[in-house]
Structure 1
Amino acid sequence: MPYISQSFIDDLPNQVDIVDLINKRVPLKKSGSDYRAPCPFHGGKNRNFAVNAHKQFYHCFKCGESGGAISFIQKFDNLDFVEAIETIANECGLTIEYDSNTNPVDPRIERYRALSKKVGEFYMAQLRTSPAKAKAVDYAKSRGISGEIAKRFELGFATPSNKDLLLHFEGNEQEVADLKTLGLVKEGQYGDYDFFRDRLMFPIHNTKGNIIAFGGRAFDKDAKAKYLNSSESVIFSKSRELYGLYHARKNSRSMDYMLVVEGYMDVVALHQAGITKVVATLGTATSTEHLQILIRTTNTIVFCFDGDDAGRAAAWKALKITLSVIKAGATFKFLFLPDGEDPDSLVKKESAKAFEQRIAKAQTLSQFLFTHLQAEVDFDTIEGKTLFLEKATGLIKSVNYEAYQQQLLEGLAQVVDQNIDQVRSIAEQQAPPTQEPPPVYVDMEVDYENLDEVDMSSFTDDSGHSQPMRKPVVKRSNMKALMSKMITLLLNYPTLADSTIEVRVRTIENSQVLLELVRSAQMDEDISQTELIKPFQDKQGIFDRLKQLCTLEPRLSEIQAREEFLAILTAIENQQKSEQIKSSIHHAHTLEDQQKIMQGILKGKRKT
């Protein structure tokens, strides 16, 4: 995406009328040389907010908010800098000038966005006109979704047919090809088919309101996956998008906080109740990119999770990511719901006001940090308190915001009833936070002189005994790293699993743990890490190792994760094939047999 020309930015105040721009949002009245109104930022009835047409400047004499046209649009419309400039240019009929030294915009982007808009319109039309719409309408009504909210979120319906979407666009070859690229149409053994079928459809918008992807909610309780998302593409990355952010900005007067929930329906249901400052991640754990977007939007971010073990594990994961990105002015809180409740059910049971009171009383990050770690140790013993200190100081060292880091250390000193200098001393002795290792791409050339058995001691068979490989495949350190990396990727990105992956993994020796994880992930695309590893609880060695791998969080997009997973899988397959060939040569009884095997290898290489 090219940058907006700096000269255009500098000249923008000279081309717009700040009074007209603000008056569209806040009614102004002439008062002397200025225009006045109640301040839109701190409220109240007094006309403390002044706009000066000559200086192209606004200022509130009460709260001190001030700035120019771009600053006002950023704050009032809850937009970032570029979005504010684009909004002003559109309203004033100006053509944005881009820096000619940057690369042009990828022409596919606008084409994909235009097509996504058409797809959204198709799904919305099906919700109104399809003969099969009753189940979608009934479901929406059962969840208390009004027509107004359905329209706000542009909800739609994917019909049960395999090809309704495909047939709608079949007259345009380019659009059909693009539908496949976006993952909305899939290629199967018996022909092309619609990816979304028999689901309530939730368009996913970017911050400008463009549809960039879709989510679909199944009606059948026995559906393989309750929720499905579009594939990642050049216009959609799960780790960089938040469902409902566009709607939160558009329908909220202020952004004094942002609530982060787990699903589409939670966002929609809270809007229905009048709580609009809410977003959801798109079937992934909270990423650093998500946090950076949220910090630009508001000063207070409240994570909302179920109060069960899985919810608290997800919250802990979010906390650890948050520690490294927190900065001045940003506050993070954690709200845990009563057992068996989600935001939708709770807001209906209590009231919007009661739910907002829960938000206001949510735990601060520091409270959750200390209480969670205390629960993990025997805090009444010297040993437990020592372990608590080591864990807490290790995490606190990952905080880059120095003032907050010092406050956390002081809070920790109070919890353990020790002198702050003693706590600082312990913190200084802690090793720096472990950084995520770079992607594992191992040279898979066979070292025939130093072949070794694969050490899979962390993974045992049903009897609890470790099973060394009968055939040496690769050096111990390499195989352990590769297998662990693949499992870590799958635990963090369950959508990697599909029938093709299962067939390939099945051919890999000593891959039973990975294979079982793949099969479980296929059964439920939105399965949590806790649910993925639960079947291994009776195999303590495996279970402990999987819990360790769950703590590793590769910061990759889904596309990057898939590429890395497939690269590792291919490397292992190639290595295993090499070993099989070597074994064949070794067991050949005659020189002629060996020559035939070598000729087969060379013939295979020429084909590739």
Structure 2
Amino acid sequence: MPFVDRDFINDLPNRVDIVGLINKRVALKKAGKDYKACCPFHEEKTPSFTVVPTKQIYHCFGCGESGGIIDFIMKYDHLAFVEAIETVAGESGISVVYDQTAKPVDMRFKRYNKLMEELSSFYQEQLKTSAAKKKVVDYAKNRGVSGSIAKRFELGFAPPGWTNLFDAYKDSEESTQDLLKMGMIVPKKDKKDDYYDRFRDRLMFPIHNTKGSVIGFGGRVLSSKDNPKYLNSPETPLFSKSKELYGLYHCRKYSRKIDAIIVVEGYMDVIALHQQGITNVVATLGTATTSSHLQVLSRTAETIVFCFDGDKAGRDAAWKALQTSLPAITAGLVIKFLLLPEGEDPDTLINSESAKAFNKRVDEAQTLSNFLFEHIKAEVPFNTIEGKTLFLEKSAALVNLVSYPIYQQQLIEGIAQTIGQNITQVEKAIEQNIANNTQHYYANALEQAEIVNQSFQTKPKRTSPSSIKSLMSRMISCVINYPSLVNDPETSSVIEERARKLPKSDVLVELIRHAQVESDLSKEALLLPYKSKERVYNRLKELSVMEPFLSEYEAKEEFGYTLTAAEKFYERKSTKASILSAKTHDEEKAVMQDIMKSKVSATRQKKS
């Protein structure tokens, strides 16, 4: 995001009509020199919201909200600071002045944005005019999607055929490369300069960023014979599934107030809820909730309600969301969980009961603490001493993830009350858990250091295969649990290349490729190709359970550290083998000189 010139920011409020801008959103009435209205930020019957044009400020005498025009637009339109400035300037006919000393905007991004808007228009037009449109129109009608909601979300249709997009842009090499960069076309195997469309014969859902620009697409099949059921754009310079939320732009645009924001699992859940007037809803894009998602959500509302299907997959997704949420909890943020009746999802439930009934479910959703305690209680024989001990151990490990001291203390008191122990005993158990984790961490670090140091031994010493396997296993576990680790557009190719250079890394490289090709793969789908290889499949299933549990950020750090440790081990092992292979002193000296040259060259490359 570009930096706005500081002088421009300071001068902007003096150049705009605060009354006119607020009046577009809230009906103001003249009251002497000032203007009044019912406050848009809290419920009231008697107007207490006042706009003072001579001072360019607003103030509510009921709830205390006050500020200038930028503050108002940020809060009312649910925008970030720079976005609010651009909105105020744009509606006032003023060109934004950006900081000229900042890094200039990459012009390629303007091309990418223009291209994605063109593609969105193309898919919308195909929904109206394609000869094959009947099946997609019938599908939308059967799902209860009205024309107005289809227009709101800019739904479209990718017609049948392998090369509709490619044929339209193939005469321009730049456009073809841009389509490839945006993941909209895919290169054919072993055929240079020949591509096919990623999305074919699907209902298309444009994915918007917070400004409303199209940054990616999701597509749903229209036949049960086709798969995958849902397909998303891959990671691109515009789109990162671990950071974006489907429907967030529409949530902010169509919700007058956002006291709470509901997080669901799919496109159709968002659309079905909008259809019934529930607009404070978003969906993750084929990935588990991430810390980046939580940062965006917490800026939008003070209450986040995770709403998942009542089946096992839904419960697992809710539990993973809880684990990711614990480090993100801050003062004023409330996180709740709503598990729907088994066999139901928001789409089906909202169509079988009223919006009022669904909102009541949201209001009565479990708090994070209740969900945490109930989930762990269901995992252990709670009515026994052993069960309560396990409950305490499992709870302690999760409480350690909380960085907000007041909430952490409240959880400790809740644990003590649940198991009938005093707070001091629970705190001791948590301290012991921290000590055990620290000991485990340093044991792993020492083990990895020993792997590296063994290559310096004068006498040949066999390296423990299990130690090397533990490095590979840890990397595989990280990728299975967080495929987004290898989907960063800037580093994905580098990671794959580094992994490929490691001996016996076939499975790791395959998993990385699968995760990069299909950006919305679930854990189960990622392992599916190995089901015919029973031994490998069973081992991967074991590794899919991450012990100890790591957040996405911690897993990224762990993966990078472990990959580096494995590289260093094999590098030093290769160096040692070269030295030992020398038959004479002169050969040994020559080998050492080559090694030193390569190290100097590598050091220079890093510095440059």
TM range (shorter): 0.7 to 0.9
Specify which of 546, 549, 553 is matched with residue 548 of structure 1: 546
The corresponding residue for 1:488 is 478
1:275 aligns with one of 275, 278, 298: 278
1:186 aligns with 2:186: yes
Are 2:313 and 1:310 equivalent residues in the alignment? yes
Alpha-carbon distance in 2 for matches of 1:550, 1:264: 33
> TM (normalized to structure 2)?
0.82
Per the TM alignment, residue 542 of structure 1 is displaced from its structure 2 partner at its CA by 6.4
Match of 1:88 in 2: 88
Shift of 1:348: 0.7
| Contact 1:494–1:526 under 8 Å retained in 2 | no
Q: Specify the SS of the correspondent of 1:109.
A: helix
Distance 1:518 1:74 in 2: 40
Deviation of 1:453 (Å): 6.3
- Equivalent position of 2:152 in the other structure: 152
SS of the residue corresponding to residue 8 of structure 2 reads helix
Task: Name the SS for the 1:162 alignment partner.
Answer: coil
Aligned AA for 2:25? R
Partners of 2:180 and 2:186 within 8 A in 1: yes
Q: Give 1:222 shift.
A: 3.0
Q: Which has the higher helix share?
A: 2
Of residues 319-328 and 215-224 in structure 1, the stretch that sits farther from structure 2 once superposed is 215-224
Residue 239 of structure 1 aligns to a residue in which SS? Answer: coil
Letter aligned with residue 372 of structure 2: L
* Candidates 209, 214, 218, aligned match of 1:215: 218
**Paired position in structure 2 for 1:199:** 202
Q: Tell me by how many angstroms 1:385 deviates.
A: 1.1
What amino acid does structure 2 have at the position aligned with 1:108?
R
Distance 1:415 1:178, change over 3 A: same
Instruction: Say if 2:419 is the partner of 1:419.
Output: no
Q: TM-score, normalised by structure 1?
A: 0.82
Q: Pick which of 541-550 and 18-27 moved more.
A: 541-550
Q: Distance in 2 between matches of 1:519 and 1:206?
A: 27
**Distance apart, 1:530 and its partner CA:** 5.2
Structure 2 residue identity aligned to 1:485:
M
Judge conservation of contact 2:235–2:519 (CA < 8 Å) in 1. Answer: no
Greater alpha carbon shift after TM alignment, 264-273 vs 361-370: 264-273
Counterpart pick for 2:384 among 381, 394, 407:
381
Contact 1:486 1:568 in 2 (8 A): no
Q: Which residue of 1 aligns with 2:104?
A: 104
Measured in 2, the distance between the counterparts of 1:213 and 1:387 equals 45
- Write the mapping of 1:364-513 to structure 2, written as runs, cut at 5 A: 364-431=367-434, 450=460, 452=462, 455=465, 477-493=467-483
Q: Displacement, 1:420?
A: 2.4
Read off the aligned partner of 1:528 and give its amino acid letter.
S
Residue matched to 2:267 = 264
- Is 1:321 matched with 2:324? yes
CA shift digits 1:318-343 (9 cap, x unpaired): 11111111111110000101111111
1:513–1:162 CA distance, 2 compared to 1 (3 A): closer
Q: Measured at CA, do residues 92 and 450 of structure 1 come closer, stay the same or move farther in structure 2, by a change above 3 Å?
A: farther
- Answering whether residue 339 of structure 2 is matched by residue 336 of structure 1, we say yes
Q: Is the 8 A contact 1:495 1:521 kept in 2?
A: no
In structure 2, the partner of 1:471 is none
Q: Which amino acid aligns with 2:271?
A: V
User: What residue in structure 2 maps to residue 241 of structure 1?
Assistant: 244
Helix, strand or coil at the partner of 2:246: coil
Aligned partners of 1:145 and 1:488: how far apart in 2?
Answer: 39
Q: Aligned with 2:227: secondary structure?
A: coil
Mark the runs of 5 or more structure 2 residues left unpaired by the alignment: 583-590, 592-597, 599-608
Once the 2 structures are TM-superposed, how far is the Cα of residue 179 of structure 1 from its aligned partner?
Answer: 0.5
What's the % identity of the aligned pairs?
Answer: 50
Partner Cα distance (1:392, 1:215) in 2:
38
* Matched residue type, 1:143: R
Q: Secondary structure at the match of 2:357?
A: helix
Which position in structure 2 is the counterpart of 1:164? 164
Distance 2:509 2:395 in 1: 36
Contact 1:537 1:543 in 2 (8 A): no
Cα distance between partner residues in 2 of 1:109 and 1:556 = 31
Gaps of 5+ in 1: 457-476, 587-597, 599-604
Question: 1 CA distance for matches of 2:562 and 2:274?
Answer: 40
CA offset digits 1:477-522 (Å, max 9, x no partner)? 2343024303431343289799xx99x9999987797699789989
On the 8 A contact 1:227/1:525 being kept in 2, the answer is no
Q: 1:394 deviation in Å?
A: 2.5
Query: What is the rounded CA distance, in whole Å, between the counterparts of 2:32 and 2:89 in structure 1?
Result: 29
Q: Deviations over 1:313-371 (max 9, x none)?
A: 21111111111111111100001011111110111111221111111111000001111
AA paired with 1:547?
A: V
1:32-87 C-alpha deviation (Å, 9 max, x unpaired): 22111111111333121111111111111222221111111111111122111110
> Would the aligned equivalents of 1:491 and 1:550 in 2 still touch at CA under 8 Å?
no
Alignment of 1:349-360 (within 5 A): 349-360=352-363
- Cα distance in 1 for partners of 2:89, 2:501 equals 58
The alignment's C-alpha RMSD in Å is: 4.1
1:288 aligns with 2:291: yes
Distance in 1 between residues matched to 2:323 and 2:503, nearest whole Å: 35
> Structure 1 stretch 207-216 or stretch 78-87: which is displaced more?
78-87
Give the letter aligned to residue 555 of structure 1: Y
